[in-house]
Amino acid sequence: MYPLRRNRRLRTNESIRSLVRETIITPNDFLVPLFVVEGKNIKEEIASMPNYYRLSLDHLTKEVKELWNLGLKSVLLFVKVDDKLKDNSGTEALNPNGLMQRAIKTVKDACPDMIVMTDVALDPFSIYGHDGIIHNGQILNDETTSVLAEMSLSHAKAGADFVAPSDMMDGRIFEIRTLLEDEGFHNTSIMSYSAKYASAFYGPFRDALDSAPVDAQNIPKDKKTYQMDFANRHEAIKETLMDIEEGADIVMVKPGLCYLDIVRDIVDTVNVPVAVYQVSGEYAMLKAAAEKGWLDHDAVMMEQLTAIKRAGASIIASYFAKDVSKLMNH
């Protein structure tokens, strides 16, 4: 009791605070999302995500080498597909010489030890901007999971270390794991977006990939029939446990800051690594506030990321990964 116990003794100066600090951020915590486009010599800033870019394959090579030199050892690939290649069944997603497949090979050629994770979902390839095949205004679950499994196999053949299904279709982890096993890809891992919420924070990401749901008759206007209701908590545990039973090696909660209670619930329940995706809207808000001079960019960035790790995240997918690593290297 006071005065025998004075808690402020352990806060006296930065040396003491750092000595007893419970949560430490390092480059090993991060998964770096990267957006890839066709063409050459393209490094195109995303308007709603300042200082973040769509990269052609030549710039992708340069980027992964820089990331590796900063101590960042894993990337998560997304591709922006030309409209003429989009349809309602994800045909281009299965093209062995498609942009995703070439991007995987590009990263591995540039930096063989870089861990490559790939987005597995139909929305970048869909004329409707949805994560599933649509028929009579409905998102078809089982038909979609079959395509997602074939898509995952295509990524594995191209050299992906992990496939990362982000669609929230029921049973897709089992379909993917079964096909990978049948085809001999026993060591290709799955990071499942297990608790992915129907969030309003995804807007800038959809700008980056031109993958927002289209506004058309008989087409669902949003993704609420498959992404989770943000009011639900126990459902996240159920979804996550099912994905682990079906073969997921890592599970993910998405978005980040508004869902740290879910992260803690899941970390306390499961025995696999838990990833958190700090999404584009979270990134854009801080960038905008910092540009206005309303917030200290680096201080708030570190506070947010520390909060995510403090909640229990083993892995943080974040657009700030490069900023943080540069800050640590100075």
Helices within 183-320 (DSSP H only): 203-209, 234-246, 260-267, 280-291, 297-310
**132-164 per-position pLDDT tens digit:** 999 998 999 999 999 999 999 999 999 999 999
Active site residue 43: no
Mark residue 39 as left, alpha or beta (left: phi above 0; alpha: psi -120 to 50; beta: remaining): left
pLDDT for residue 131: 93
CB atoms within 10 A of CB 306: 15
As a whole number, the mean pLDDT across the chain is 95
- Write down the H helix ranges in 46-114: 57-69, 99-110
At 210 the pLDDT is 66
Active-site option among 86, 196, 223, 322: 196
Which residue among 86, 223, 254, 322 is the active-site one? Answer: 254
Q: Is the pTM above the cut of 0.75?
A: yes
pLDDT beyond 70 at 208: no
pLDDT, tens digit (0-9, with 9 covering 90-100), for 74-112 = 999 999 999 999 999 999 999 999 999 999 999 999 999
254 is catalytic: yes
pLDDT one-digit tens code per residue, 271-318: 999 999 999 999 999 999 999 999 999 999 999 999 999 999 999 999
Cβ atoms 254, 191 nearer than 8 A: no
> Is residue 77 classed exposed, middle or buried when 0-12, 13-18 and 19+ CB atoms within 10 A define those classes?
buried
Distance CA 281, CA 295 (A): 16
Predicted pLDDT of residue 1: 84
Q: How far apart are CA 111 and CA 107, in angstroms?
A: 6
